Structures are given as C-alpha cells and as structure tokens.
Amino acid sequence: MAKTQYYVPVGPIHPALKEPIRVEAKVEGERIVDVDVKRGFAHRGIEYMGMKRNAIQTLYLSERICGICSISHPYAFVIGSEKALGIEAPPRAQYIRTIIAELERIHSHLLWLGVVAHEMGFDSLLFWTWKGREKVLDILELLTGNRINYSVFMIGGVRRDIKESQAKAVRDMINYYRIFTEEMKDVFLADPVYKARTRGVAQLSKDMAKKLNVCGPVARAAGLRMDVRQDTPYDAYADIGVRAVVPQDIVGEARGDAYDITLVRIYEIEQSLDIIEFCLDNMPEGKLMAIPNYVALLAKIRRSEGEGIGMHEAPRGEVVHYFKYGNKRDGPLVWKVVAPSYNNINTWGSLLLGAEVADIPIVVAYIDPCMCCNDRLAVVRDENGRLIDPATLHRKAVEKTRKLRAELGVRE
Amino acid sequence: MSEPMSAEEVLKRLQEALGEALLSHEVREYTMGVRRKRTYQELWIDIDPKAFKRAVEVIFELGYPHLHFIAGGDDGGDSLRMVYSFGLFWAVPWGELSVTVRFNLPKDNLVLPTITDLMPGAETNEREIREMLGVEFEGLKKKRHLFLPDDWPEGKYPWRKDEYGVEDMVKHTHKSVNEIRRGE
C-alpha cells in the first residue's frame, strides 16, 4: 500500500513549544520527510521603530528585544555605534560592561540547564538549578537595580559604577558558584541517566554546523572553535584572551549532541567566573562615560556619518547589529539586528529530516530557542485585581532593591 | 580552518578576481583592549552588483566564512543599498577578518543570485530580505513568508520608503513623536 503524506503542524500554541513559532512537518507514517518553520507570530518591527527614534531611545528599545539576553543587544548596539561614531569608552566602563555581560551569561546558562532538565522530566533538577540562579539575579539587581532590562549601558560608557562594597558581594557570589558548578558537573555530566537521555540526541556534525551558519554553544558543541570574544575581542575581553570552550578540549571529542551542549554550557559558567574575577582584580580607575552629556552625545551623532558592525557573544551565540548613521539624524538610518536564534533555528530543518514526530520537542528545546521577538507587554495587577500603574510599579521596584541592599549589607 | 590572511591580502585577491567591478575599498582598523592593546582589521568594499556572485565565490575560496548578516537600506531613491557581511578566518584568536560587501541594486531590476548553494544557512536571511524589501533571489527554493503573515498584501514591503512601503497601511506608527507634533 502506498504511504500517504500528512502535514503535522506543531505550534504556535502547543504544549511542547513554549515559544510562538510553528514547525510544519510533512510526514510519511512516523518519519518526517519535509519541514518548514514559520516565524514572526509576535514580530514587532523593532528595527523599523528604531529607525524613527534617536540613538539613546533606540539603545533602550534594543534592550527590550529579549528578556533573557537583555544586555546582549545593548552590548552589540554600543560596540557598533562606537565603531560607527568613533567614540571610545573609558577603561573602567569597559570592565564594568564585561562583568555585567558575564553575569548575564551565568544566569542564562543556568536557566537553560533548568529548562533542559524539565524537558526530560527531571523537575527536581529544574528547581535546584533555578534556585542557584537566584544568587546571580540578586547580584545583578544589586549592581543595576533591575533583575531584567538593566539599563546600564550607554554609547561611550556605562551609567553605574561598581563600588568596593558591591565588588565584595560579587566575590562572594563567585565562591558560591565555584562550588555550585562542581555539583552541577556531578549531577548533569556524571549522571548515567542524563547521559543516556542526551548522548546522540539532536546530533549536529561539524560540517553541518558550518554550513548551517550556526553560532554560540550549538556551534562549539559541534566542535567549531567559534567565539566572538576570542575572534574579534572587545572591551576587557581583549585583555583577558578568552578561548572558546569546545568539548574536544575537555573530553577528547566533539559529537555535537545534547550532552555536548550541556558540557559546553557548564564549563562556560566556570569561564565566566574567571573573567569576572580578572575584571574585579584589574579594574582600572577613571570616569564612566566618554560623553556624559546626552545632549552633546546626540549632537555628535547628528554631525557624524558612518557605518559600523557591533558583535557580542551572547549566552546563546553571537548577536550582530549593523548601523548606518548620517543624513543629519540623531538616530540610525539603517539598523539590522541578528539574534543568535535567527541562525540556530536553521538546524531544526536538517535535524528533523528523517527523525520521528516524537523528536520534534526534543530537537526544538536543545537548541535553546529564543524568538527574541516575544511580546514584551505585561499586565500587572495587585492583590485586589486592580491594575498597577507604572509609577507604583517603579516605587515597588526601588523599595525591593533597597531591601536587598540592606540584606546584603551594602550601603547605597 | 585556513590560515588567517591580512585585509590587504584578501583585498588583493578580490581585486584580481573582480578587476574594474571593485569600485572602492576601505580597510578599517580598530584598537581594542585597555592593558594589552591590539588591533584588528575590517575590510569594506563597494562593488558592481553584476560581480556580486564572483565576489562571494572568491570569499568562499579563501576559507569557509560565517555569514554575519544581509542587510538592505532604502533611502527612497532609485536603488537599494545591499550590505553582505562575512566573517573569514574565525576560530583563531584575533584572527577574524570581517569582509563587508556593499552595492547599489537598481529598483527596476531587483534580482540577485542566491548564495544558499554555497551556504544553506543563508536561506533565513534571504527570505527575510525578500519579504521586507522585495528583492528576488534566483535559485532560492523556499519562498514562503518567514516573518510576515501569509495573507500579507502583494507588493508591500515594510522596509521600503517609496510607494511600495507601508505608509498607507499604518497611520502614525512610522512617524516619530516630533514629526507628528510638527504636522509632517
């Protein structure tokens, strides 16, 4: 009997897919013979909005592209803008930026490790890793005042300093995570059950990874030594000499499967701790902003003409921002954003070809997809069901940060 | 991975292959670092759109690149300004050379050869440019909308600033607050 082909749509509303994306699989029996991925369910046209605002407004708009990588987009933004406009950030600001970016990498990797445990049914592991993640979120709130959307970066510097008392709290956090990563190696990497569930799953060969243009931990797990912090260093990374973490250096070979991605991420947390420690030890003194006056900064942008590409190695892969300034405007004329998942989702098509329908959620989750285009609209109600206005929300946020600072013994 | 070459060497190879079609070039240097300052280079070239495929082939001969992005800009004139950015010689510390290829594509002939035959991963980028700017890619297999809805009207491209743009579909969202206040 001839096999009939069917279409199986997965998403955008589906228990296995938490992100607004649709995978349309053409199946013959259980085998997938063709895949099409449809995106853009929450496309907000951020690039289009950015071309109509001034550069500082666009910088904070770029922070809203993604909630998890909320420093990655501003980082690529400021690097690209500084290249296009010819501004150099002061040394101390460069070190502070690097510290905050690495703190974000720790929290993003811990988040993914929890999610992957959840996808496999180990929910106690999920709670354990996310409990560990609270520590770094507290430190981020201590340094910036916010748990997400930190708003500390500025074209040509940063807006907040890291004081000596705050640096002490960061050092305590480093000690905490040194022990935590050792425990994670036991629980994830040495565990036979975890190994059995992840070895050979969602396997991506080195050649395939190169052709599909993937980046970040997905590329490194496949054995490609690709890391923006290593290839074109910027800020404090240029002093440190970061090396890409690849499985062949740790276990001898790279198979590019879900186990290798876990391995790369856990070792990258250790690398981040080393980087933060280096930055704290070698923090230069000096001012925080190249051009402290916003009006003067916007006037300089209005006079400038130029193009620049900013790249940052975000936790999930490289973020690229391309800018064109000029035409006497104080905002970008052309702004193009490429987020890591933009490239990494390419893997779904090839990994799913020939796989079975049941593999779809597994393959989807191991790549750590982030649509980066999720709606960032949130409605917050108080205990009586009334809407909270932005002013009250802001007051509550400030109160909470003060409470946290008092608990951690940091004077403002 | 292939041995890193300097921007001048890559430029020489491109000049040999493209000849007159390489209109202008620029080698930019950026110094990074606080305690250990080092410099890396970026190569920016302007070419004739007819020589685009040859330029990409030369880049792929030098080493398998990483495609950073394909961007396009419209200033409302007769042509679109396309920007392709490739990263060559990655995997070596301080070794990556970013090669950016720029050209003006006339609006009466918005056709480009696809690069998905050399790099299958470029499909996403090309499909985005196709639906946002209306550039047709010869040889691109999947042409369904990627970000825009399937029932998006034909001949409307969100990033265009001429009559094919979306100005008549949206009222004020494309304007800045100051422009609305000034009554523009």
CB–CB of A93/A289 below 8 Å? yes
Please name the residues between 229 and 288 in chain A that touch chain B, using a CB distance below 8 Å.
230-236, 238-239, 241, 243-244, 282, 284
The per-residue pLDDT for A14 is: 72
As beta bridge partners, residue A318 has A313
- The stretch A96-114 carries a mean pLDDT of 91
Task: Evaluate if residue A391 carries a pLDDT over 80.
Answer: no
Task: Evaluate if residue A109 carries a pLDDT over 60.
Answer: yes
Q: What is the pLDDT of residues A139-180, one digit of tens each?
A: 999 898 888 888 899 998 999 899 888 899 999 999 999 999
Please name the residues between 169 and 228 in chain A that touch chain B, using a CB distance below 8 Å.
210-215, 224-226
Q: What is the pLDDT of residues B2-40, one digit of tens each?
A: 678 888 888 999 899 888 888 999 998 888 888 888 888
Q: What is the pLDDT of residues A278-313, one digit of tens each?
A: 999 999 999 999 998 999 999 999 998 988 999 999
Q: What is the pLDDT of residues A196-241, one digit of tens each?
A: 888 887 788 888 888 888 888 889 999 888 898 988 888 888 888 8
Task: Evaluate if residue A375 carries a pLDDT over 60.
Answer: no
Please give the Cα distance from A246 to A250 (Å, whole number).
7
Is ipTM beyond 0.90?
no
CB–CB of A221/A367 below 8 Å? no
The per-residue pLDDT for A411 is: 65
A96-to-A88, A89, A153, A272, A288 alpha-carbon distances in Å: 14, 11, 9, 14, 9
Residues of B whose CB is below 8 A from A212: 120-121
Peptide bond into A340 cis (omega under 30): no
**How much of chain B, in percent, has pLDDT values that exceed 90?**
23
Residues of B whose CB is below 8 A from A343: 121, 124
Question: Please, which pLDDT band fits residue A377 given cuts at 50, 70 and 90?
Answer: very low
The per-residue pLDDT for B171 is: 59
Question: Please, which pLDDT band fits residue B155 given cuts at 50, 70 and 90?
Answer: confident
Please tell me which residue of chain A has the smallest CA distance to B31: A234
Distance from CA of A82 to the nearest CA of B (A): 11
Which residue from A284, A307, A343 is facing B34, i.e. has the nearest CB? A284
The per-residue pLDDT for A195 is: 87
Side chain identity at residue A3, one-letter code:
K
Tokens 């970040």, located at residue: A216
Please give the Cα distance from A393 to A309 (Å, whole number).
36
Got the DSSP string for A189-228? IS-HHHHHHHTTTT---HHHHHHTT--THHHHHTT----H
Q: Is A67 helix (H, G, I), strand (E, B) or coil?
A: coil
Residues of B whose CB is below 8 A from A94: 34
Distance from CA of A320 to the nearest CA of B (A): 7
Task: Evaluate if residue A267 carries a pLDDT over 90.
Answer: yes
Residues of B whose CB is below 8 A from A38: 144-146
Chain-centroid distance of CA A27 in Å reads 34
Residues of A whose CB is below 8 A from B144: 36, 38
Question: Please, which pLDDT band fits residue B103 given cuts at 50, 70 and 90?
Answer: very high
Task: Evaluate if residue A17 carries a pLDDT over 70.
Answer: no
Q: Is A159 on the interface with B (CB under 8 A)?
A: no
Q: Is A229 helix (H, G, I), strand (E, B) or coil?
A: helix
Look at residues A352, A285, A343 and name the one whose alpha carbon lies nearest to residue B128. A343
Distance from CA of B90 to the nearest CA of A (A): 6
CB–CB of A177/A106 below 8 Å? yes
Mean pLDDT of chain A: 85
The per-residue pLDDT for A25 is: 85
**Is B103 or A47 the better-scoring residue by pLDDT?**
B103
Question: Please, which pLDDT band fits residue A404 given cuts at 50, 70 and 90?
Answer: confident
Q: Is A398 on the interface with B (CB under 8 A)?
A: no
Instruction: Give me A351's structure tokens.
Output: 């990994």
Q: Is A343 on the interface with B (CB under 8 A)?
A: yes
- The stretch A303-326 carries a mean pLDDT of 89
Please give the Cα distance from B35 to A43 (Å, whole number).
42
Q: What is the pLDDT of residues A337-373, one digit of tens each?
A: 888 888 888 888 888 887 777 777 777 777 767 665 3
**How much of chain A, in percent, has pLDDT values that exceed 90?**
25
Which residue from A211, A244, A345 is facing B120, i.e. has the nearest CB? A211
- The stretch B90-116 carries a mean pLDDT of 89
For A140-163, letters b (16+ CB in 10 Å) and e give bbbbbbebbbbbbbbbbbbebebe
The per-residue pLDDT for A364 is: 75
The per-residue pLDDT for A374 is: 41
A295-to-A53, A81, A85, A323, B141 alpha-carbon distances in Å: 15, 16, 15, 20, 49
CB atoms within 10 A of CB A286: 11
Residues of B whose CB is below 8 A from A241: 36, 93
Chain-centroid distance of CA A407 in Å reads 28
CB atoms within 10 A of CB A314: 28
Tokens 């600072």, located at residue: A405
The least confident of A52-56, A214-218, B147-151 is B147-151
Question: Please, which pLDDT band fits residue A1 given cuts at 50, 70 and 90?
Answer: low
Long-range contacts: A23-32, Cβ < 8 Å, 24+? Answer: A23/A348, A23/A352, A23/A360, A23/A364, A25/A352, A25/A357, A25/A360, A27/A357, A28/A3, A28/A4, A29/A3, A30/A356, A30/A357, A30/A358, A31/A354, A31/A355, A31/A356, A32/A352, A32/A353, A32/A354, A32/A355, A32/A356, A32/A357, A32/A360
Distance from CA of B29 to the nearest CA of A (A): 10
Secondary structure (H, E, C), chain B: CCCCCCHHHHHHHHHHHHHHHEEEEEEEEEEECCCCCEEEEEEEEEECHHHHHHHHHHHHHHCCCEEEEEEEEECCCCEEEEEEEEEECCCCCCCCEEEEEEEEEEHHHCEEECCCCCCHHHHHHHHHHHHHHCCEEECCCCCCCCCCCCCCCCCCCCCCCCCCCCCCCCCCCCCCHHHHHCCC
CB–CB of A392/A383 below 8 Å? no
| Residue among B46, B56, B68 with most chain A CBs within 10 A, to mutate | B68
The per-residue pLDDT for B2 is: 65
Distance from CA of A38 to the nearest CA of B (A): 6
Side chain identity at residue B32, one-letter code:
M
Distance from CA of A217 to the nearest CA of B (A): 14
Task: Evaluate if residue B46 carries a pLDDT over 90.
Answer: yes
Q: Is A36 on the interface with B (CB under 8 A)?
A: yes
Question: Please, which pLDDT band fits residue A129 given cuts at 50, 70 and 90?
Answer: very high
